[in-house]
Structure 1
Amino acid sequence: MTMNKTWYPLDEAAAKFGVPAARILSWVEDGLVRAEEEKGKVVRVNGDDLELKLEEMTGL
């Protein structure tokens, strides 16, 4: 089992994966990326879900 970081703050995820935060939020809204919310605002997103979505988009 790997101990890699899985959940990222939205801004950190956008920088790490090279995807605008608005796009990530649209994927969260569409149910494609899991997120943790606090007071109705997305605070963390799942990095594994982001990796899968990007692989799907790029075909890599």
Structure 2
Amino acid sequence: MSLTKTWYTVDEAAAKFGVSTKRLLEWVENGVLRSEGEKGKVVRLYGEDIERELNLTPSV
């Protein structure tokens, strides 16, 4: 069992990881991030997927 938080709301993830909500939702749409939704709207994102994507994305 993980002792760290792994699921974040879109706003929490944007603040924690310094990524825009637009970019996060694009990653969900492209199948890069696992997400949970309610009533057709993305409400939670999997933090480990975000961390992985940030490590794979070259800095500009």
Asked whether the two chains share a fold, i.e. TM above 0.5, the reply is yes
**In structure 2, what is the equivalent of residue 14 of structure 1?**
14
- Pairs within 5 Å for 1:1-60: 1-58=1-58
Superposition CA RMSD, Å: 1.3
Amino acid at match of 1:55: N
Percentage identity across paired residues of the two chains: 56
Q: Equivalents in 1 of 2:58, 2:50: separation in Å?
A: 12
Q: Equivalents in 1 of 2:32, 2:50: separation in Å?
A: 8
- How many positions carry a matched residue from both structures? 59
Deviation at 1:53, TM superposition (A): 0.0
- Report runs of 4+ in structure 1 exceeding 3 Å deviation: none
Q: Equivalents in 1 of 2:52, 2:58: separation in Å?
A: 10
Consecutive unaligned residues of structure 1, counting only runs of 5 or more, are: none
Cα distance per residue 1:8-59 (max 9 Å; x no partner):
0000000000000000000000000000000000000000000000000147
